[in-house]
Amino acid sequence: MVKSASFSCSACGAVHSKWSGRCDACNAWNTIIEDVPLSAGPKGKSLGARRGNGINLTDLATQEPPPPRTISGMDELDRVLGGGLVPGSATLVGGDPGIGKSTLLLQAAARFAQAGLPVIYVSGEEASAQVRMRAQRLGLGDAPVKLATATALRDILTTLETETPGLVIIDSIQTMWADNVDSAPGSVAQVRAAAHELTTFAKRKGSSVILVGHVTKEGQIAGPRVVEHMVDTVLYFEGERGHQFRILRSVKNRFGPADEIGVFEMTGQGLAEVANPSALFLSGRGDPAPGSVVFAGIEGTRPVLVEMQALVAPTPHSQPRRAVVGWDSGRLAMILAVLEARCGIPFAGLDVYLNVAGGIKISEPAADLAVAAALLSAREDAALPAQAVLFGEISLSGALRPVSQTENRLKEAKKLGFTSAIIPAGGKPGGTGGLSLTRMGDLTGFVGEIFGAG
Ligand code: TYD
Ligand code: MG
């Protein structure tokens, strides 16, 4: 009988022959756990040696009706879920501590319960009285949500088996404790076991399960990346501290589009939905200022306008600073390099700061042109026309490349009172959305046209 290596890293999956504090494959700390054999079957024999029950095979042509979804009535949440909650689905909601996960899910619990779904909210962090007080303060005191404070998973599952609710919210997965796993609550092994038990329960009984997970500073759900693979849907609740905006983003969804966002605002009365995020992100934008431009972006299925702000200042240091909030720093370096190499505009000896206003994170390459424009505008100390939006991808050659959903972006800009747009030449001919368009083939042309330099 072969004695197999019995430790593996829960972060990267590397197999180790002995335990250690740090995985030497991915350098993560405290992620190595013992692989406990699950069952006491005939050891050492391959699975094929003894016959199982067989599985049912089917074909691709069978028509499945779409899953019946429950709508909470919170549009921003329903859309991110892919059009409502799917029965039997498991969802992970991750986010920094204090960002508002419990608030969001308490409000969602109340709305789903009011929509007729039996809801159980299990808090492992707050006493029932605390949750009840919060609910009453949010005006949700009479929603038919069943509430419990518990961390012992066996007890929780026993109750769930008899109640079979339509939706169970577990806040948070890190506080759950499975007594068949020999490690402390919050450890990777515990979180993995608890998530496994709860997702299996969801599939077996057709109850939807929402797990709350706290995220570490590096943006990982503390330890258990594995949970992301077990669930059907992974949502992140994010936002900058000091900003009232909160964004619920789907990063994985077996029942809908990924990368969809829902926008909320944290108020004294809980989270308020923001139906028109562009207006919110652009609010507080004053007169045209150098370094400020408006980018017409797409988040998920929705156009969103955001303000890009740049500041360029001479530095006394030999190594100038490049600081970015809300965008990719590698992409900023690329645009600075293209501006320097293709347009002859150097940024050496200059500190560069780039900020996406409102605390939203942009990941679209379509923002390249807006970033370049903000940088140039800051460097030349010349404001762009206030009523113009920009978008377009910049290639390393300095060419501007067309991006998707041009017309949707233009329409959103029109809706918010913009009158002109600077966009890449080429691409599919489409409507102008009622804006006057300036089409540019490359960055050099853009610099010449807008700043009269080159
Ligand atoms: P919470 O939902 O407890 O965060 P999480 O579960 O992600 O740790 O939110 C806590 C924060 O939200 C807290 O700092 C106070 C703030 N808050 C409001 O501003 N208004 C409200 O109505 C509520 C309930 C919370
Ligand atoms: Mg909480």
Structure-model confidence comparison of residues 14 and 355, the more confident one: 355
Give the distance (Å) from ligand 1 centre to CA of residue 220.
21
Over residues 89-124, the pLDDT tens digits come to 999 999 888 899 999 999 999 999 999 999 999 999
Most informative mutation of 210, 266, 269, 271 for ligand 1 (most atoms within 8 A of CB): 266
Instruction: Tally Cβ neighbours within 10 Å of residue 265.
Output: 16
pLDDT score at 39:
54
Please say if the pLDDT value at position 158 is more than 90.
yes
Give the distance (Å) from ligand 2 centre to CA of residue 97.
7
Distance between alpha carbon 419 and the CA centroid of its chain, in Å?
32
Structure-model confidence comparison of residues 54 and 284, the more confident one: 54
pLDDT score at 443:
94
Q: Please state the atom number of ligand 1 nearest to the C-alpha of residue 212.
A: 6
Q: Is the CB of 175 under 6 A from ligand 1?
A: no
Give the 3-state secondary structure of 177-214: ECCCCCCCCCCHHHHHHHHHHHHHHHHHHCCEEEEEEE
pLDDT score at 135:
95
Please say if the pLDDT value at position 279 is more than 70.
yes
Q: Is the CB of 242 under 6 A from ligand 1?
A: no
Give the pLDDT mean for 146-160.
95
As a whole number of angstroms, the distance between CA 313 and CA 397 comes to: 26
CATH number of the structural domain spanning residue 91? 3.40.50.300
- Residue where a domain stops, chosen among 235, 253, 275: 275
Please say if the pLDDT value at position 155 is more than 80.
yes
CATH number of the structural domain spanning residue 352? 3.30.230.10
Structure-model confidence comparison of residues 383 and 36, the more confident one: 383
Over residues 17-46, the pLDDT tens digits come to 888 888 888 888 887 887 766 554 555 567
Q: Report which protein residue has its CA nearest ligand 1's atom 12.
A: 100
| 47 lies in some domain | no
- Residue where a domain stops, chosen among 224, 252, 275: 275
- By the 10 Å C-beta count (0-12 exposed, 13-18 middle, 19+ buried), 180 is classed as exposed
pLDDT score at 222:
55
Give the distance (Å) from ligand 1 centre to CA of residue 103.
6
> Peptide bond before 172: cis, by omega within 30 degrees of 0?
yes
| 46 lies in some domain | no
Asked if 242 and 297 sit in the same domain, the reply is no
Asked if 203 and 297 sit in the same domain, the reply is no
pLDDT score at 68:
86
Asked if 261 and 297 sit in the same domain, the reply is no
pLDDT score at 4:
53
Over residues 343-369, the pLDDT tens digits come to 999 999 999 999 998 878 898 999 999
Q: Is the CB of 244 under 6 A from ligand 1?
A: no
Question: Which segments within 98-193 are labelled E, that is strand?
Answer: 119-123, 145-149, 167-171
Question: Whose atoms come closest to the Cα of 96: which ligand?
Answer: 1
Most confident range (mean pLDDT) of 5-14, 290-299, 355-364 is 290-299
Asked if 267 and 297 sit in the same domain, the reply is no
Residue 266 · residue 280 · CB < 8 Å: no
As a whole number of angstroms, the distance between CA 234 and CA 54 comes to: 32
Most informative mutation of 92, 99, 102, 103 for ligand 1 (most atoms within 8 A of CB): 103
Q: Please state the atom number of ligand 1 nearest to the C-alpha of residue 171.
A: 6
Instruction: Pick the closest to residue 75 from 401, 301, 339 (CA basis).
Output: 301
| 1: confidence class by pLDDT, cuts 50, 70, 90 | very low
Structure tokens at 189: 């092994």
Asked if 294 and 250 sit in the same domain, the reply is no
Q: Is the CB of 150 under 6 A from ligand 1?
A: no
| 389 lies in some domain | yes
- By the 10 Å C-beta count (0-12 exposed, 13-18 middle, 19+ buried), 261 is classed as buried
